[in-house]
Homo-oligomer: A and B are copies of this chain.
Amino acid sequence: MTANEGPSGYAAWRLIAEELRVDVTDGRIPVGGRLPSEAELAERFAVNRHTVRRAVAALAAEGLVEARRGSGTFVAPHTLVTHRIGTRTRMTDSLGPRSGDASARLLETAIEVPPPDVAAVLGEQVVRLEVVRSLSGRPISRGTHWFGLGRAPDLAAHFRRTGSITRSLEAGGIDDYVRVSTTISARHATADELSDLELSPGAVVLVARALDALPGGEPLSVGYTRFPAHLVELDVEHVPTA
Contact = CB atoms under 8 A, between A and B. Distances in A.
Contact of A235 (B4, B183, B204, B240): B183
Contacts of A86: 238
Given A87-B238, A187-B230, A8 B19 contact: no
A180 B238 CA distance: 6
Contacts of A1: 4
B202 A185 contact: no
A60 interface: no
B206 A186 contact: yes
A233 B205 CA distance: 13
A34 interface: no
A8 B201 contact: yes
A14 B19 contact: no
Contacts of A79: none
Interface of A: 1-6, 8-11, 13-15, 17-19, 21-22, 25, 27, 58, 82, 85-88, 117, 178-188, 190-191, 200-202, 204-206, 229-230, 233-236, 238-241
30 contacts: A2-B2, A6-B201, A8-B200, A9-B14, A9-B58, A9-B202, A10-B11, A10-B202, A11-B11, A15-B201, A18-B188, A18-B202, A19-B190, A27-B117, A86-B238, A87-B240, A178-B238, A178-B241, A181-B235, A182-B235, A182-B236, A182-B238, A184-B184, A184-B206, A184-B234, A185-B206, A185-B234, A187-B229, A236-B236, A239-B241
